[in-house]
Amino acid sequence: MPRVEVVFFREDDETVPVRDWLDSISKKAQAKCLVKLGRLEELGHELRRPEADNLRDDIYELRVRLQDVNYCMLYFFHGRTAAAVSHGIVKQKKVPAREIDLAIARKRLFEADPEAHSE
């Protein structure tokens, strides 16, 4: 039963960071990111490198490469049936600790009230 529901984290002010980030990148990069989100939905916890990787503290990255640019969407699982995407970044070699910390903070908010923090 690998299939999971993919949801986007929503802030208290109703903004959706990953949606704003997707809107800021090229259409070609957006398309590749959406395919990767579909793979996450299809494979869930079974998605592995090179497509996804465990960063730390139950925060994962969904990895997309287009030409020489590395796009990364940080996410976490909510139980066995949902994955919440915190936000996206363009990364160099590794995901900065502050980005992981931000995803951890959003995970805590999401766990406290999933309905209020999901789109």
pLDDT at 1 over 70: no
Residues comprising the chain, all counted? 119
Residues 6+ apart with CB under 8 A from 78: 84, 110, 111, 114
Residue-number span of the structural domain to which 63 is assigned: 5-112
pLDDT band at 43 (very low <50, low <70, confident <90, very high): very high
pLDDT tens digit sequence for 46-60: 999 999 999 999 999
- Average of per-residue pLDDT across 62-72: 95
pLDDT at 117: 96
CATH number of the domain bearing residue 17: 3.30.2310.20
pLDDT at 92: 86
pLDDT band at 93 (very low <50, low <70, confident <90, very high): confident
In a domain, 118, yes or no: no
In a domain, 94, yes or no: yes
pLDDT at 74: 98
In a domain, 34, yes or no: yes
How many domains does the chain divide into?
Answer: 1
pTM flag (> 0.85)? yes
pLDDT at 2 over 90: no
Average pLDDT, the chain: 95
- Average of per-residue pLDDT across 29-36: 97
pLDDT at 17: 98
